[in-house]
Structure 1
Amino acid sequence: MFTIDRSQASWKYPFALIWIGQAFSLFGSGLAGFAIVWWLTATTGSATVLATATLATLLPGILIGPLAGALIDRWDRRAVIMVADLTGALGAAALAVLFWIDALAIWHVYLIMALRSLAGAFHWPAMQASISLMAPERHLARIGGLSQMLQGATNIAAPPLGALLIAIWPLHGLMLIDVVTALIAVAGVGLVRFPRPPRAAPAVADAPATGVVAEMRAGLRYISRWPGLMMVMGMAALINLLLTPAFSLLPILVTRHFHGEALHLAWMNAAEGAGIVLGGLIIGVWGGFRRRMNTVVFGLIGLGISILAIGAAPATAFLPALAAVAVVGAMSPVVNAPMMAIVQSVVAPEMQGRVFTALGSVSMAMTPLGLVIAGPVADAFGVQVWYLLGGCACLLMTLLVLGIPAVRDLEDRPRDSGRSAVVRSENVPS
């Protein structure tokens, strides 16, 4: 078994084992996800069914987030990641069997998607919280950029490959690919011994079930007493509120405004994915400005201007709008990777599970609300209005970052001990 020590140059090799395994799993999940959506569409043709499936993937993470964070900080994060990957593999295997025996029902899909989402609610924060202990701090933004690049590459490659495989393979074959890739990810993690953070408070950790609730409350208090971190969570929530629905409205923008066809929508999706790959590659190689928050500001400016360009593009300007979509994709890693690196570098390692799950829960909680609001707004005022609102919001957030010292100087805050935070919280009446 390999051991990661970020103080030594050899940390890259065991980390690469984990990263490559997770890359396989991400791609397999992309193929499986495309197959599931295609089956739902071909079987029902119902937008309500697709919307319900989307909610099934969102709600577990929103509802379980704070509790998951407390458990991640109590448990062995390596084991959490492996169990989460195995749970995803189990769900894919169940779908494969149901496809094979021709017994799959819509409620099976909802249930298994919720189960996989629940596993993801543990997997992502456990991985993010572990990366800060595996890699030197100066490389965190680069790793975040490469991860974003991988996500973009999956967005580009998985749908067309999935469409090709559906034409020549049965659907249970695609599910089995997801099972195999998840097992590759488990093997990569299993070969590496993770660094473990210090325990936040042994007295709490040794307590029975009430200790989990106490640690969850301690995590929420840890965040609430940190104004800069609270504002970052608010920014993430606002981005999800406005930008996620904006890009769910791309089909409407293409058909109603640009009077395009399916091919034009495919070009839009490909441009966004290509932009994410390019932006992730740039951050992965460059690493950003010396002050990471300056990189975030640069990305927000680029994001705001490009989204405004999409909203302002006339019906005859499809190609400029296509270029703006690519810039939006490229700016996403420029914003996300350094921001995640800042959180990883300043939050106490033993508190990061709780912080990342809270960040994910708050930001994802806004997505259903945005989806509910965006449709009526687009119908009443035109789809471009939503892009104009999103672009203005990004530029406004740029001014807030620059003008509020708690956010602007967030990366300058020394990493404090989660132990003291938990102990203090236990002495505060609720």
Structure 2
Amino acid sequence: MKDQKKFRCRFPLIRSGPFITLWTGQSLAMITSEIVQFSLIWWLTDSYRSATVVSWATLSALLPRAVLNPVIGVLVDRWNRRSILVISHIAIILAMAFLGYIFQTDNDPVVTIFIIIFICAISKSFQSPAMLSSTSLMVPAEHIPRVAGLNQLIQGIMRIVSPSLGAILLLKFPMSGIVMVDIAGASLGLISLLFVMIPKPEKTSGQKSCFSGRNLVFQDIMEGIRYIRNWPGAVEMLGISTTVNFLSCPAFMLVSLLITGHFGGDEKMFGTISAAIGMGMICGGILLSLWSGFRRPMITSLMGVIGMACALLITGIIPSYADEVATISMFTGGFMIPVSMAPIQALVQKSVEPELQGRVLSLMDWISSIISPVSLAIAGPVYDELGSQIWYIGSGVLALLIGSAAFFSQKIRDFGDPRYLASESKTPDRCKRTIA
């Protein structure tokens, strides 16, 4: 009996039937979509052998998120979130079905592929904030950090599963058949929505006074910006998160250059280290799904930043023959990704009013989506001129200094502390102060 009670305490989300149904369906749709996207990019690489074609395909996938996210966040807050998820899945199903037809009938479908990738990217840009902002409406606040850990777990699974399954599918089936995997995944996501009702956030009277009858998209975006700006500690937190993302993004995305340039490794070592990063993300996600972190979320997040910084620094300073150490350090870096990111995501979901979560989450994701390409563009020449190790050493040292210095700021340490949040004003009051 005691063991049963302990089990319930440790896995309380199992009892949240509707949310588990929704989360499972959306997660499967994400995984299948990532598998097909990997297959599609590799097919373009192998078929056209053109950096321009691959660059345009990547740009088609990134552009909607980088440009439209602030507007999408506003629309998610305005519209029914269940309807958004339903429409986005239907759009992906129709787009992929058309792409399958094009692969069977068109000998040069590259332009159509760019358009389909763009349409699917728009749909996914709606799905993410709609799902994240629905979590706080369906899950008790004390369990939201565990959900954030599960979301990071899925990211780790996608990092491992997508390349391997995508490669297997390319060996066994034509692209016209592979797109059916995405159709099946989107269908599962759609079916899960048939059994779930997502509660609608209530519009507070304070919120109405913020708009003052000028209910325009631009003003809603500005409302999200004002919310972040007037939330004590939020600007500092966002600055740390953006800077660390700028430093770490090339280290994890351009790891192939480190392997070939410094370690003299081959595709086997690349696969091993990529799998180590993914396994680290999975283990970190599992940890946070069982343990929601310290009472003050920023303490957990900053420990993740410092741990990641140490892992990158070690990777940069080890000699070329220490490939086993590199595997362990990159596993540690992958482990620290969810430890540093999940508490912040959960904090926003717990603290921000549901009717504002779409735009706040989208604005934060928008900043991240802009900074990543910038860091990659800068890291490329650095890698070419100074070697890949320099970026790992520099990013490790800077992230270590940032994470350590943040511990000395009470404003940052207390950001998200339940006691601290309880004493803060709510959003409508902030809006009134700003507009007045």
TM-score under structure 1 length normalisation: 0.91
Specify which of 409, 412, 421 is matched with residue 413 of structure 1: 421
Does 2:333 match 1:333? no
Specify which of 8, 17, 37 is matched with residue 13 of structure 1: 17
Q: Aligned pair in 2 of structure 1 residues 211, 273: CA closer, same or farther (>3 Å)?
A: same
Q: Aligned equivalents of 2:402 and 2:86: distance in 1?
A: 37
Q: Aligned pair in 2 of structure 1 residues 297, 315: CA closer, same or farther (>3 Å)?
A: same
Query: Are the equivalent residues in 1 in contact too, given 2:232–2:415 (CA < 8 A)?
Result: no
Does 2:233 match 1:228? yes
2:343 maps to amino acid: P
2:303 maps to amino acid: F
Q: Aligned equivalents of 1:206 and 1:185: distance in 2?
A: 38
Match of 1:193, SS?
Answer: coil
Q: Aligned equivalents of 2:213 and 2:39: distance in 1?
A: 45
Structure 1 residues 163-222: Cα deviation after superposition (integer angstroms, max 9, x where no partner): 1122121211111110111111112123211122122544788968x5322222212111
Specify which of 31, 34, 49 is matched with residue 30 of structure 1: 34
Q: Aligned equivalents of 2:211 and 2:85: distance in 1?
A: 20
Does 2:186 match 1:182? yes
Q: Aligned equivalents of 2:398 and 2:352: distance in 1?
A: 27
Q: 1:134 maps to which residue?
A: 138
Q: Aligned pair in 2 of structure 1 residues 284, 379: CA closer, same or farther (>3 Å)?
A: same
Q: CA shift at 1:424, angstroms?
A: 5.0
Q: CA shift at 1:61, angstroms?
A: 1.1
Q: 2:258 maps to which residue?
A: 253
Specify which of 271, 277, 282 is matched with residue 277 of structure 1: 282
Q: 2:49 maps to which residue?
A: 45
Q: 1:373 maps to which residue?
A: 378
The number of residue pairs the alignment matches comes to: 419
Query: Are the equivalent residues in 1 in contact too, given 2:247–2:399 (CA < 8 A)?
Result: no
Specify which of 119, 125, 130 is matched with residue 121 of structure 1: 125
* Structure 1: tracts of 5 or more residues without a match: 1-7
Q: Aligned equivalents of 1:401 and 1:132: distance in 2?
A: 28
Does 2:110 match 1:106? yes
Q: Aligned equivalents of 1:207 and 1:256: distance in 2?
A: 59
Q: 2:268 maps to which residue?
A: 263
Q: Aligned equivalents of 1:10 and 1:309: distance in 2?
A: 39
Structure 1 residues 375-406: Cα deviation after superposition (integer angstroms, max 9, x where no partner): 11111111111111221232123134312233
1:268 maps to amino acid: I
Q: 1:347 maps to which residue?
A: 352
Q: Aligned pair in 2 of structure 1 residues 389, 89: CA closer, same or farther (>3 Å)?
A: farther
Structure 1 residues 59-108: Cα deviation after superposition (integer angstroms, max 9, x where no partner): 21121111111111111112122222222223322221211223453222
Q: Aligned pair in 2 of structure 1 residues 400, 75: CA closer, same or farther (>3 Å)?
A: farther
Query: Are the equivalent residues in 1 in contact too, given 2:306–2:404 (CA < 8 A)?
Result: no
Q: CA shift at 1:9, angstroms?
A: 8.4
Q: Aligned equivalents of 2:194 and 2:430: distance in 1?
A: 32
* Structure 2: tracts of 5 or more residues without a match: 1-11
Q: 2:9 maps to which residue?
A: none
Specify which of 388, 408, 427 is matched with residue 383 of structure 1: 388
Does 2:267 match 1:237? no
Aligned counterparts, 1:69-108, within 5 A: 69-108=73-112
Match of 2:99, SS?
Answer: helix
TM-score under structure 2 length normalisation: 0.90
Q: Aligned equivalents of 1:353 and 1:230: distance in 2?
A: 18
Query: Are the equivalent residues in 2 in contact too, given 1:11–1:135 (CA < 8 A)?
Result: no
1:366 maps to amino acid: I
Match of 1:192, SS?
Answer: coil
Q: CA shift at 1:109, angstroms?
A: 2.2
Q: 1:402 maps to which residue?
A: 407
